Structure 1
Amino acid sequence: MALPLPGPDPSAEPGRGLHERYRYSRWDGSQRLADLDADRLLDALSDDLMAEGDLAAALRRLFRRGLERDAEGAGERIAGTRELLDRLARARRDLLQRYQLGDVMSEVRQHLADIVETERRGVERRLAEAQGQEANPDLRRLLGEMAARRQRQLEALPEDAGGRIRALQDYDFLEPEARARFEELLDQLRHQVLEAQFRGLADQIKGMTPESLATDREMVRDLNRLLQERLEGGEPDASDFLAKHGAFFPGASTLDDVIDQLTERMAAMQSLLSSMSTEQRSELQSLMDALLRDDRLRWDLAQLAATLDQLIPGGLGERVTFRGDEPLSLDGALGQLAELQAMDRLA
């Protein structure tokens, strides 16, 4: 059962409740509980008990309305579930009214444009240095041809982020700074896009060799088989799967645990894709394909998402409409969608 943590009393200070941040989590035994005494609880229950004589019903109503301070102002005020759910609803509404999806890929494209410009300046500088030296004419000609070839490659780069990343992954950088910035951007994007779905997958894909991807392919294929069996009404045993691939799903001991983890990780991405226009969705999908660069694994991951979408009531990720003005980056959009889904799980 999801139990929210009681927050501070929003009436304690004028206006405090408007901007107070509250943290909610599932009950795990570490939460701090108010110091309640029996007399205070009995006082809070007495009217309902006298009216109906039903202790369970009286407790349910107490949970809903919460516990106020006593007549002398002593004791800690405890919010009831009704107030906590109202806070969640307000937080969700405020989030949707603050942000807008807009062009979540613009920041990625800008980073790529800066990297390309850094490389272009480096090529031009090296060409100027070569022409200014008293070098062999044939060497100067070769350097000029090499620089011209690089410039043509840069001019021919696709405009969309995914296509540009694919082309730059095959491009032989001359400028070390541009190469370093590109590798750094790839690492960031892999963690944002891939790590959201499988813990540890981004680091393993970084090598991009057939050997380094073998474990990932095997894990996804094995998982697809288990999920397909569940979809067909079976009750597959996940013990062998977790013995081999448990590092991807820390703490999981059953297939349901694996599904829960996958749902939480993948739902934000699926919701983002569902909330985008056709053009935006195509560009993001192209970016994800460019980061993965493995046709078989990419197909297996798509099958995994499709199977999960059928297994989960209501689907894996619903369309969300943001109505605010503050633009979101790709990472920001995934973060806010994950926040919305966490709220929905508690509500």
Structure 2
Amino acid sequence: MISRSNRYERWDGSQEPLGRDAEDLFDRLAEDLFQGGDFDYALHRLMSRGWRDRQGHKLPGFEEMLERLRQKRLQQLKRYNLNDVFGNIREKLNDILRRERQGINDRLEQAPESAKRVLQKITKKKLQELDRLPDDVGGTIRQLNDYEFMDEGAAQAFQQLMEELKQQVSQTYFKNMTRTMQQLRPEHLGEIKEMMKALNQMLRDRLEGVPPKFEQFMQRFGHFFGPNPPKTLDELIQHLERQMAQMESLMESLSPEMRQQMQDLLASTLSDPELQEQMAELAAQLELLSPRQGLGSRYAFYGSESLPLQEALSLMERLQGIEELEAALREGYQGRQLTPEQSAQLQQLLGNDARQAADQMSELASQLERKGYVQRGRRGMELTPRGMRRIGQKALRDLYTRLKRDRFGDHPISVRGLGSERSDETKVYEFGDAFNLNVEQTLMNALRREGPREPIRLKTDDFEVFRSEFSAQSATVLMIDM
């Protein structure tokens, strides 16, 4: 009896993830080539449609994954709207104004008679200022920044609201930074502006071809960037671009009136002129370093669920992540693999099967290239001489497989029966079979039937013989068109 052993070992990065499947997939690509077309087109079509692995499991293709991502994006657009992103801010402002008015009235009522006449003039002026506040959120905040509150509770509530808004606005540029950056407190403002100046200087150096002093920058300002700071200037630039694109998407998706309110809100929140100048310079230099060409997409929301500002920014982040995944999957046709972050996001959105399929399809082109079957040319993936020979071998193998059973010849086909070559497969003996007896298997059949005893008695049903392979015969003809 022939025994088989299987050996398992830990993945060390050197094993081929597709294994024998890569050979099978190359044969499928060859079948497409037989129908016409080039290899790059055949590979593109296979990756688009997906395939079944050797266990029969269907792996989704890039086309299916892209469609599922489009549906995910559509679900968000159908669910939400941006008609009231300032709703919670407006509610807090209204509550602050109610407290201030109530505080003014309480102060006037509690004042002694000797001071009431003077206090009435002051409170009247304060109430007139409140009455003249504009209706939009940004304008209200801008004027309240210069307003002296009479009610201490209203003043504290307004300062807390400003801290929240500063945190949200700062995350537009510096998400995942430490609380120091997010709160923009007066005692930290000077250091923040120094950090912005140094950051802009690094970007200017990059534009002018001067090596940027990124290590020195991180030694001085690394505490701003939280527990996982960027390791290179390119990582920092990519992060800043992504954050700015989220705000750009939000601005583009708002109505013109709400867009103006958002601009007023940003200007009111970052009221320091020097900091505003540094922010504007940062945006301009990022545009020069990596022209975004409208990286922030405009989304048409038509759902019924309103979102506050912070959740709207988070939604833009999710939608932008979907778009980046779509772009990465399209690049997968050229064998470009997803980053670990993109793979994790794909798994979160579409499930583990999509992640495995994307990883395998991205690896497929590279694996065929390593095997020497294809190479990257100016027009995409092209067959190498070795790949052409492999396709030729498949063509001949398929040809001889389809030949009719004939007399004994020299070409193997996949039909079993009477022939000239003995195979390793066995079968129960039938009348007419060549008596190529497998002695071991015959004795084992008798032992299974009779049990371990002596003597071993054989019956006709115990005999097991080796199969024979058919061979087909063909002729090769060389034809010359004169």
Residue 264 of structure 1 deviates from its aligned partner by 1.8
Q: Is the 8 A contact 1:119 1:178 kept in 2?
A: yes
Cα deviation code 1:44-96 (max 9, x no counterpart): 7485177379x9999877654445588xxx77654333322221122123323
2:193 to 217, 230, 240: 217
SS, match of residue 173 in structure 2: coil
What TM-score does the superposition give when structure 2 sets the normalisation length? 0.54
| Counterpart position of 2:12 | none
Q: Distance in 1 between matches of 2:321 and 2:184?
A: 33
Instruction: State the aligned residue count.
Output: 302
- Amino acid paired to 1:330: L
Structure possessing the higher relative contact order (Cα contacts under 8 Å, 6 or more residues apart): 1
The aligned runs of 1:73-222 (5 Å cut-off) are 78-130=59-111, 135=112, 137-199=113-175, 200=177, 203-204=180-181, 206=183, 208-209=185-186, 211-222=187-198
Q: Distance in 2 between matches of 1:234 and 1:280?
A: 42
Q: Which has the larger radius of gyration?
A: 2
SS, match of residue 195 in structure 1: helix
Residue 284 of structure 1 deviates from its aligned partner by 1.5
Residue 204 of structure 1 deviates from its aligned partner by 4.2
Residue 112 of structure 1 deviates from its aligned partner by 1.1
Q: Residue 230 and residue 315 in structure 1: after superposition, are their counterparts in 2 closer, same or farther (change >3 A)?
A: farther
Q: Residue 64 and residue 303 in structure 1: after superposition, are their counterparts in 2 closer, same or farther (change >3 A)?
A: same
2:260 is the alignment partner of 1:282: yes
- Amino acid paired to 1:169: N
Residue 194 of structure 1 deviates from its aligned partner by 1.3
Q: Distance in 2 between matches of 1:163 and 1:201?
A: 29
Q: Distance in 2 between matches of 1:109 and 1:309?
A: 33
Residue 203 of structure 1 deviates from its aligned partner by 3.9
The percent of aligned pairs where both chains have the same amino acid is 34
Q: Is the 8 A contact 1:266 1:316 kept in 2?
A: no
Query: What 5-or-longer segments of structure 2 have no aligned partner?
Result: 1-16, 327-482
| Counterpart position of 1:48 | 28
- Amino acid paired to 1:179: A
Per mean C-alpha deviation after superposition, the further-off stretch among 80-89 and 225-234 is 225-234
Q: Distance in 2 between matches of 1:88 and 1:95?
A: 11
Q: Distance in 2 between matches of 1:244 and 1:202?
A: 17
Q: Distance in 2 between matches of 1:69 and 1:179?
A: 66
Q: Is the 8 A contact 2:249 2:316 kept in 1?
A: yes
Cα deviation code 1:289-338 (max 9, x no counterpart): 22122101111101111221232243364340314133433223212221
What TM-score does the superposition give when structure 1 sets the normalisation length? 0.72
The aligned runs of 1:292-307 (5 Å cut-off) are 292-307=270-285
Q: Distance in 2 between matches of 1:305 and 1:207?
A: 19
Per mean C-alpha deviation after superposition, the further-off stretch among 155-164 and 113-122 is 155-164
- Amino acid paired to 1:254: T
More strand by share: 2
1:247 to 223, 228, 231: 223
Q: Distance in 1 between matches of 2:185 and 2:19?
A: 63
1:261 to 220, 239, 242: 239
RMSD: 3.5
Q: Is the 8 A contact 2:181 2:224 kept in 1?
A: no
Q: Distance in 1 between matches of 2:144 and 2:180?
A: 20
- Amino acid paired to 1:162: G
Per mean C-alpha deviation after superposition, the further-off stretch among 283-292 and 271-280 is 271-280
Q: Is the 8 A contact 1:198 1:248 kept in 2?
A: no
2:305 is the alignment partner of 1:324: no
Q: Is the 8 A contact 2:108 2:119 kept in 1?
A: yes
Q: Distance in 1 between matches of 2:83 and 2:288?
A: 29
Q: Distance in 1 between matches of 2:166 and 2:206?
A: 30
Q: Is the 8 A contact 1:190 1:202 kept in 2?
A: no
Cα deviation code 1:219-251 (max 9, x no counterpart): 111211222333345553422222222234433
Q: Distance in 1 between matches of 2:234 and 2:24?
A: 40
Q: Distance in 2 between matches of 1:90 and 1:124?
A: 55
SS, match of residue 236 in structure 1: coil
